[in-house]
Amino acid sequence: MFDAELTPTEQRVLGCLIEKQLSTPDYYPLTLNALVNACNQSTNRDPVLALTEQVVMEALQDLRDSQAVWFVGAAGSRVQKYDHRVAESLGLSVQECAILAELLLRGPQTPGELRNHGTRMYAFQDLQEVETVLEVMLEAERPLVAKLPRQPGTKETRYAHLLGGAPEHPAPAAAPVAGPSRTALLEGEVATLREELAQLRTEFEAFRRQFE
C-alpha cells in the first residue's frame, strides 16, 4: 500500500475520508457528492480547493488501485460510497489517524497546532500526548511523518506527512547584506571634504600668484 507517492488531490481525498470517519461517523462512508463537498470545504483546509466530481473520482480510482480506499454499497441503496483502509493497512491508532488526516488536509504543523486543529477528530489530553504519537509515527518501520528544519525566528518544530514523498523545505531567508557602518560613512565624507579643501587651496594659490 502507498508504494507510489500520492498526488495532492489523492492526499486531499484520503485526508477527508479519514477526517469524516472520525468526526462524523454517523454519515460515513461518504458518497461522491459528500466527498467532493468535504474536499472543497473552506474551513480546516489549506489550501482551499475547488475539485470537480471527475477529478475526485479519478483520485478515488487510483487510491483503490493502491488499496487505500474501498468502494462500498450501503444496504438497500444503489448509491456508491467510499471508505478508506488506512488504519487497517498501516495498523494506525485513532490518534495516529487524526494526526495523519490533519497533516494531509492542512500541511505541516507544530504539535500545538495539531492538537488544536484536530479536536474534531480526537481530543488529545495534552501536548505530551501529541508529541508521543508523533514519535511513534517517526520511528515506525515505514515512517509516516518527518520533522522539518526549524525556520529562523521560530521556536517550535513543524511536522509533515510522507505520503506525498519527502516534504519540500522552504529555502531559508537570505542573510541581509551588511551595508557600510555609520563610522565608515562619516570617514568617507571627511576624506571627501579634505580633498575638496585641498583643491580649493590649490586654486586659491594659483589665483593669488596672478597678482604678485
**Residue 169 within any structural domain of the chain:** no
**Residue 166 within any structural domain of the chain:** no
Verify that 154 and 182 share a domain, yes or no.
no
Model confidence band, residue 41 (pLDDT cutoffs 50, 70, 90): very high
Kindly list the distances between the CA atom of residue 99 and the CA atoms of 41, 44, 149, in Å, as whole numbers in the listed order: 19, 13, 19
* Structural domains in the chain (count): 2
- Residues in CB range of 22: below 8 A, 6 or more apart: 94, 97, 98, 101, 120, 121, 122
Model confidence band, residue 60 (pLDDT cutoffs 50, 70, 90): very high
Verify that 21 and 57 share a domain, yes or no.
yes
Verify that 25 and 96 share a domain, yes or no.
yes
Verify that 119 and 199 share a domain, yes or no.
no
Q: How many CA atoms lie within 13 A of 64 on its CB side?
A: 12
Residue-wise pLDDT for 126-171, tens only, equals 999 999 999 999 999 999 999 999 888 888 999 999 999 888 654 4
Domain of 105?
A: 8-161
Verify that 151 and 183 share a domain, yes or no.
no
Considering only 74-78, 80-84, 91-95, 200-204, which range has the smallest mean pLDDT? 200-204
Verify that 69 and 19 share a domain, yes or no.
yes
Q: How many CA atoms lie within 13 A of 135 on its CB side?
A: 6
Q: What is the model's pTM?
A: 0.77
How much is the pLDDT for 183?
64
Angle between helix axes 8-23 and 94-106 (nearest 10 degrees) is 140
Verify that 190 and 135 share a domain, yes or no.
no
Verify that 29 and 92 share a domain, yes or no.
yes
**Residue 171 within any structural domain of the chain:** no
Verify that 46 and 148 share a domain, yes or no.
yes
Verify that 92 and 132 share a domain, yes or no.
yes
- Residues in CB range of 79: below 8 A, 6 or more apart: 31, 73
How much is the pLDDT for 66?
93
CATH number at residue 118: 1.10.10.10
